């Protein structure tokens, strides 16, 4: 375990995640003919929420005070397991931990909604669980494809000179499609659904707990947006990146982040919100796609 | 033609009709005994195909020792109105309820009960409608003796009982209000849900009741009422000013100058474009299509500019007054306006094509919130809601007013009865309105824009019908002496449409609730207009007005 990289990731998560969300807001605004907020807006939102008082919902148990912090912690932990701006990963076998934390944080977020006992929170929480049950498998399968192709469960940027092939491409597409749903944005914001559920799981939270929930969502998105880079670095010839901080890695990272943000913004601007049924149908197809990728890894000769 | 209906009623109910008066062309008044009203209304609506337009109770105890209750029924296909008048004697303040036979009378009878103290006997749902829970039970604001000066002593033990289905224990309660977060207005729907499916709905309204009719009767003159009428609604204000003015001018037998009529059409249609574009944007937002919201509102802003150019105001134009309009349209402004109208048409066309081609948007609207033609007729809903369910009604076409008789336009009608159909009806309606504004401005006749009304005879019952963006706005007016109205009853379209919402919501999913309620294009402040009392009810607990005042201090 590399504590220095781990610490770097934690700091990066807290600083960069709101900026990434801010960038999404700006791009979405431009796509909708709006001026939009400054890139730092999500940062200011969090800072403002932290200054507000906490009012726990009446009749809710102790869970409401624990779960927001837990959501944030799990998301940061998730982000901390992968290599970000450096070529090495902070922990061995981080890919498996990443997948586990991704699943866990989605369910904790849903539980935080239900714990408030607000009917909207409960409905939002149950929608989140259903959506997660559908989306997480395709994330798992497409990540597994990447892991199999790379031959390592550690999510780092070690270049292995992997040949560009159909299985990798299909897995990357399946992954990008599943990530769309994870940020809780239109058309996949069925759990939060501003005009239907008024925030769903977030509804009863305010002040610092809401800040924790929001930051948790931002960090979770950032963590998931960080994966596509691994599809790219795998293609580079072995030894081409060196050790430690790497300009190439940072450049590829920023490019893949931008790609994810633009995809999310485009989906948000060009579509109406899905119902749960439509989202399920969509993700059944994405899951099938990711399974195809995994099968191709074994079916196509020389893919591994 | 008009006699067909009266003849049919006289034949069916011999002896019930005590008198027939022709108030003016196509407006006939029938006197009925109060016990005959339910059967006659049921027959006229159910078998003769009439539409319930409004119902108003009036206090005549000072002069006649009685109250008068008028049901107004309309036949759009014949351009005909019928007033069914019945009298309730002082001392016996009750009448047989029409609601069990004709459910469209539900809200009207509840309003008569709380505002005049006349009890509809046999009403299935006699809860309060517009007044607050802590309003005293023995104080009736629309009685002439009631002075709206100081707030009355309020009840402390008040509460509101929600209706629940028999097997309520099986469902979760989801409150949709009192402040509705999707339409941003105070209205309270309470759902019993099974998972995400809505099993039963109870509707509570009345949070926005402002008492405008009482104010008009007690503090205003004929000339000033249009301005308060315009403030009934923040979106379709001119519709209310026009409906009132129309009722007043018809009572006086006055014809406004030709140029004023055409300007009125331009103003009303401009307002309709603005309202429909606003709705299209809001509906897009409700189903999570925020780009639609931004784009429709971008085009809408051009209309606001146009309104400012022609009237001086972006909203609340203050143009329509008894006798004509307040401002003339100068030649150079007319030309700028015409250019602007072409731009709006071009931009709206592009947007219309792009939005209606969007699969995800269509998927969210299709088959959602159905209302059958039979239900639409039974509940006498109006406007795009009725037209999307196959009921062809349009006051502009069927009860022509101002210059509409000389203009060319179509009334879009769809048969599907779902939210998509309502969207399409409004979207096509917008094209017609753009066409109408263009026609009105292009063919604007010369002459004065205002003429004084010489004499308004007292005690004339008159009606003003205007096809607003949300449906037919019906103003019922009885003139009084000394420059004031004796009774003015506003029936905004939402008042007729909102009772249909529970029907459209039942069996649908929670995800679609917002857009279903939204598909009425509800205007809550329009539907509720009579007395202000601080009152707010939470989920279970009632916060008293005193408590609220304490918080504020």
pLDDT in tens, B91-115: 889 999 999 998 889 889 999 998 8
pLDDT at B494: 86
B288 touches chain A (CB under 8 A): yes
Across A59-68, A96-105, B219-228, least confident range: A59-68
Phi, psi of A59 (to 5 degrees): 80, 0
CB contact under 8 A, A271 and B196: no
In this predicted model, what pLDDT tens digit does every residue of A92-134 receive, in sequence order? 878 888 889 988 988 888 888 888 877 788 888 888 888 888 8
Residue A48 belongs to a domain: yes
Average pLDDT over residues B423-435: 92
Is pLDDT at B456 greater than 70 in this prediction?
Answer: yes
Is residue A10 included in any domain, yes or no? yes
Residue B522 lies in a domain: no
Q: Give the pLDDT confidence score for residue B534 in this predicted structure.
A: 29
Task: Show which of B493, B522, B542 is a domain's final residue.
Answer: B493
- Say if residue B393 is in the same domain as residue B257: yes
CB pairs under 8 A between A and B: 82
- Which CATH number fits the domain that encloses residue B111? 3.30.460.80
Whether A31 maps to a domain, the answer reads yes
pLDDT > 50? residue A170: yes
Range of the domain at B21: 2-126
Interface touch B511/A278, C-beta < 8 Å:
no
How far is B362 from chain A, CA to nearest CA, in Å?
9
What is the pLDDT confidence band of residue A185, given thresholds at 50, 70 and 90?
confident
Instruction: Assess if residue B515 is contained within a domain.
Output: no
How many percent of chain A have pLDDT more than 90? 19
Do the domain assignments include residue B31? yes
pLDDT higher than threshold 50 for residue B499: yes
Mean pLDDT of B499-516: 85
* Rg (chain B; Cα; Å): 23
How far A32 CA lies from chain B's nearest CA (Å)? Answer: 5
* Angular region, B521: left φ>0, alpha ψ -120 to 50, beta rest: left
Asked if A275 lies within 8 A of B509 by C-beta distance, the reply is yes
Instruction: State whether B289 and A120 contact (CB < 8 Å).
Output: no
Whether the per-residue pLDDT at B1 is higher than 60: the answer is: no
Q: Which residues lie below 8 Å from residue A263, measured CB to CB, with a gap of 6+?
A: A176, A179, A180
Q: Answer yes or no: is B453 within a domain.
A: yes
- State phi, psi for A181 to the nearest 5 degrees: -75, -15
What would the two tokens of residue B442 be?
């292009």
Ramachandran angles phi, psi of A7, nearest 5°: -65, -40
The A-side interface with B (CB below 8 A) comprises: 31-34, 119-120, 122-123, 186-187, 189-190, 193-198, 268-276, 278
- If you average pLDDT over residues A284-290, what whole number do you get? 91
**Contact residues, chain A, for B287 at CB < 8 Å:** 195, 272-273
d(CA B202, CA B215): 31
DSSP strand E in B4-105: where?
Answer: 17-24, 27-32, 51-60, 66-75, 80-89, 94-96
Chain A CB within 8 Å of residue B354 CB: no
pLDDT, residue A304, reads 60
pLDDT digits (tens, 9 = 90+) for B329-353: 999 999 999 999 999 999 999 988 8
Q: Residue B52's pLDDT is what?
A: 92
Q: What is the Cα–Cα distance from B429 to B451, expressed in whole angstroms?
A: 32
The pLDDT value recorded for residue B525 is 65
Task: Quote the percentage of chain B above a pLDDT of 70.
Answer: 94
- Mind telling me how many Å the CA of B289 is from chain A's nearest CA? 4
Complete edge-to-edge strand list for the sheet that includes strand B172-176: B172-176, B188-194, B197-204
Instruction: Give a yes or no: residue A146 inside a domain.
Output: yes
| Residues A88/A51, Cβ–Cβ less than 8 Å | no
Q: Is the pLDDT of residue A26 over 90?
A: yes
Assigned token pair, B364: 């969210």
- For B133-151, how does the pLDDT look when each residue is reduced to its tens digit (9 = 90+)? 888 888 888 888 888 777 7
Give residue B543's pLDDT band: very low, low, confident or very high (50, 70, 90): very low
pLDDT tens figures, B461-473:
999 999 999 999 9
Residue B210 belongs to a domain: no
Report the CATH number that the domain containing residue B352 is assigned in CATH: 1.10.645.10
Tell me: do B117 and B249 sit in the same domain. no
DSSP B183: T
pLDDT at B542: 44
In a domain, B102, yes or no: yes
Question: What mean pLDDT is predicted for residues B281-307?
Answer: 89
Question: What's the number of domains chain A is made of?
Answer: 1
Residue at B156 is within a domain: no
More confident residue, B375 or B527: B375
pLDDT (average), residues B61-87: 91
Identify whether the C-beta of residue B414 lies closer than 8 Å to the C-beta of residue B425.
yes
- Domain endpoint, select from B126, B142, B172: B126
- Percent of chain A clearing pLDDT 70 (strictly above): 97
Residue range of the domain that includes A110: 3-299
- Contact present, A209 and A65 (Cβ < 8 Å): yes
In a domain, A304, yes or no: no
Q: What pLDDT is stored for residue B537 in this prediction?
A: 33
B145 in a domain, yes or no?
no
Last residue of a domain, one of B126, B142, B170: B126
Best to test chain A binding among B511, B517, B541 (most A CBs inside 10 Å):
B511
**pLDDT tier, B538 (very low <50, low <70, confident <90, very high otherwise):** very low
CB B110, CB B126: distance < 8 Å:
yes
Q: Indicate the number of domains in chain B.
A: 2
The residue with tokens 């977030």 is A202
Residue B78's closest CA among B7, B135, B133? B7
Percent helix, strand, coil in chain A, to 5, is 70, 0, 30
State whether residue B421 sits within 8 Å of chain A by CB: no
């Amino acid at each position: 375990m590399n504590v220095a990289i781990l610490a770097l990731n934690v700091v990066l998560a807290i600083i960069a995640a709101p900026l990434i969300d801010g960038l999404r807001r700006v791009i979405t605004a431009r796509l909708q003919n709006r001026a939009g907020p400054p890139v730092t807006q999500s940062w200011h939102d969090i800072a403002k929420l932290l200054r507000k008082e906490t009012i726990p919902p009446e009749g809710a148990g102790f869970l409401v005070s624990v779960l927001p912090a837990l959501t944030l912690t799990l998301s940061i932990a998730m982000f901390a397991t992968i290599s970000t701006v450096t070529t090495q990963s902070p922990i061995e076998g981080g890919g498996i931990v990443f997948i586990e934390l991704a699943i866990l944080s989605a369910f904790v977020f849903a539980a935080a909604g239900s714990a408030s006992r607000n009917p909207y929170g409960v409905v939002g929480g149950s929608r989140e669980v259903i959506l997660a049950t559908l989306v997480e498998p395709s994330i798992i399968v497409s990540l597994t494809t990447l892991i199999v192709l790379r031959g390592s469960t550690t999510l780092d940027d070690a270049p292995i000179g992997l040949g560009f092939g159909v299985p990798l491409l299909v897995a990357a597409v399946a992954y990008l499609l599943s990530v769309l749903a994870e940020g809780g944005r239109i058309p996949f914001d069925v759990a939060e659904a501003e005009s239907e559920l008024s925030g769903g799981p977030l509804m009863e939270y305010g002040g610092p707990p809401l800040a924790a929930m929001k930051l948790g969502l931002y960090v979770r998105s950032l963590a998931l947006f960080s994966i596509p880079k691994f599809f790219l670095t795998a293609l580079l010839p072995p030894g081409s990146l060196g050790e430690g901080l790497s300009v190439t890695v940072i450049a590829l990272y920023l490019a893949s982040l931008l790609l994810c943000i633009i995809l999310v913004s485009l989906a948000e601007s060009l579509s109406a919100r899905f119902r749960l049924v439509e989202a399920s149908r969509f993700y059944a197809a994405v899951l099938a796609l990711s399974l195809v990728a995994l099968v191709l890894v074994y079916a196509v000769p020389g893919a591994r | 033609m008009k006699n067909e209906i009266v003849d049919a009623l006289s034949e069916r109910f011999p002896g019930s009709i005590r008198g027939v008066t022709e108030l003016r062309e196509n407006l006939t008044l029938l006197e009925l005994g109060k016990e005959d009203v339910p059967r006659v209304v049921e027959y006229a609506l159910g078998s003769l195909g009439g539409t319930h337009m409004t119902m108003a109770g009036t206090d005549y105890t000072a002069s006649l020792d009685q109250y008068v209750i008028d049901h107004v029924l309309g036949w759009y296909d014949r351009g005909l109105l019928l007033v069914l008048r019945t009298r309730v004697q002082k001392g016996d303040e009750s009448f047989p309820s029409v609601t069990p036979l004709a459910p469209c009378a539900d809200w009207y009878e509840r309003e008569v009960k709380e505002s005049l103290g006349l009890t509809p006997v046999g009403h299935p749902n006699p809860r309060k409608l517009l007044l607050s829970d802590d309003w005293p039970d023995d104080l009736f604001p629309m009685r002439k003796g009631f002075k709206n000066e100081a707030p009355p002593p309020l009840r402390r033990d008040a509460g509101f009982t929600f209706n629940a289905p028999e097997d309520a224990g099986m469902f979760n309660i989801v409150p949709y209000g009192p402040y509705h977060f999707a339409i941003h207005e105070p209205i309270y729907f309470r759902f019993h849900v099974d998972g995400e499916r809505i099993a039963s709905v109870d509707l509570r309204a009345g949070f926005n009741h402002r008492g405008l009719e009482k104010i008009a009767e007690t503090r205003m003159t004929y000339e000033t009422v249009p301005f308060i009428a315009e403030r009934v609604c923040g979106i379709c204000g001119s519709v209310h000013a026009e409906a009132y003015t129309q009722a007043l001018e018809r009572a006086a037998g006055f014809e406004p100058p030709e140029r004023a009529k055409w300007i009125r059409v331009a103003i009303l249609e401009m307002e309709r474009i603005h309202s429909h574009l606003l709705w299209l944007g809001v509906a897009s937002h409700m189903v999570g299509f925020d780009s639609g919201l931004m784009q429709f509102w971008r085009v809408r802003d051009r209309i606001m500019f146009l309104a400012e150019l022609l009237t001086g105001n972006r909203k609340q134009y203050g143009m329509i007054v008894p006798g004509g309009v307040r401002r003339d349209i100068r030649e150079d402004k007319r030309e700028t306006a015409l250019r602007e109208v072409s731009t709006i048409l071009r931009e709206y066309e592009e947007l219309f094509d792009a939005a209606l081609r969007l699969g995800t948007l269509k998927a969210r609207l299709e088959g959602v919130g159905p209302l059958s033609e039979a239900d639409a007729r039974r509940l006498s809903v109006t406007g795009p809601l009725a037209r999307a369910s196959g009921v062809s009604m349009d006051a502009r076409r069927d009860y022509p007013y101002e210059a509409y008789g000389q203009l060319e336009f179509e009334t879009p009608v769809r048969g599907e009865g779902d939210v998509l159909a309502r969207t399409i009806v409004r979207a096509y309606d917008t094209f017609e309105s753009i066409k109408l504004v263009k026609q009105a401005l292009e063919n604007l006749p010369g002459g004065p824009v205002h003429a004084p009304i010489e004499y308004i005879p007292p005690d004339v019952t008159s009606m003003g019908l205007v096809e607003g963006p949300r449906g037919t706005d019906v103003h019922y007016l009885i003139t009084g002496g000394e420059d004031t109205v004796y009774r003015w009853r506003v029936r905004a379209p939402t008042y007729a449409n909102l009772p249909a919402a529970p029907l459209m919501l039942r069996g649908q999913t929670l995800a679609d609730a917002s857009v279903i309620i939204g598909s009425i294009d509800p205007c809550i402040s329009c539907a509720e207009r009579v007395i202000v009392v601080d009152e707010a009810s939470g989920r279970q607990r009632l916060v008293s007005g005193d408590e609220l005042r304490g918080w504020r201090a």
